[in-house]
Amino acid sequence: MDRENAYIMTYTGKMLNPFYPKEELICIEDIAHSLSMQCRFNGHVKRFYSVAEHCMYTTLVLRELGYSAKVQLLGLLHDASEAYLSDIPAPVKEFLNEYREIEFLLNTAIYSKLVPYCYGLTKDELDAITMVDKELALLEGRKLIGEAEWNRKKTQFDVDFDTLGELSPKEIEKAFIVFYKALREEAKLEQTTNRARS
């Protein structure tokens, strides 16, 4: 098979080629469904814990730290490309340069379609999303795997992983869409308010 014909069928029945992603084929429903069905840490956890939950906790931490709705929205969608590529453990992904290139193309299309109000983030804001993502992974490992390896590094915050409760994948999917729609509206309002002030 060549790249031009490398299509995958999504949950909503769309045929998307991850090598050449078209914005019109990207939708929050596919992303929410897929991420709610994928388990973090390749499933090596004490209970099912989805990529969607990880993304929602990223948003909750960013909110707690005082970041804007547009930063929180990008936090929610920072792993959205995995809806089309799958979650690959970070130590492996680091060596998959081509995967990371495809991930970049997908993220560009996803952000352009689903986060139109989020251009112009500062380096500090982007770094905050990365920091929260990495520190959450440590806390998740500590609490959901529990081996001493995860206790070696300190984190700047803590998370109660019972905040969302133990939800079914279908409930997680619905909550992810609710988060997205609320944050999109907040980000839109922020942008309008900021424009009015300038």
Q: Which structural domains are found in the chain, ordered by start? A: 3-197 (1.10.3210.10)
Q: Measure the CA–CA gap between 47 and 146, rounded to whole angstroms.
A: 12
The Cα 22–Cα 45 span in angstroms is: 34
CA distance 138 to 151: 8
* Residue 61 pLDDT greater than 90, yes or no: yes
Task: Say what the alpha-carbon torsion angle 172, 177, 180, 183 is, to the nearest 10 degrees.
Answer: -90
pLDDT at position 35 is: 98
* pLDDT one-digit tens code per residue, 14-56: 999 999 999 999 999 999 999 999 999 999 999 999 999 999 9
Asked whether the whole model's pTM tops 0.85, one would answer yes
- Quick one: pLDDT at residue 32? 98
Question: Is the confidence at residue 66, as pLDDT, over 90?
Answer: yes
At residue 198, the pLDDT reads 64
Higher pLDDT, 77 or 163: 77
| C-beta of residue 27 within 8 angstroms of C-beta of residue 12 | yes
Q: Across the chain, what does the average pLDDT equal?
A: 91
Mean per-residue pLDDT for 48-70?
96
Which of 8-22, 66-80, 156-170 is predicted with the least confidence, judged by mean pLDDT?
156-170
Are 53 and 172 a contacting pair, CB within 8 Å? yes
User: Which of helix, strand or coil describes residue 46?
Assistant: coil
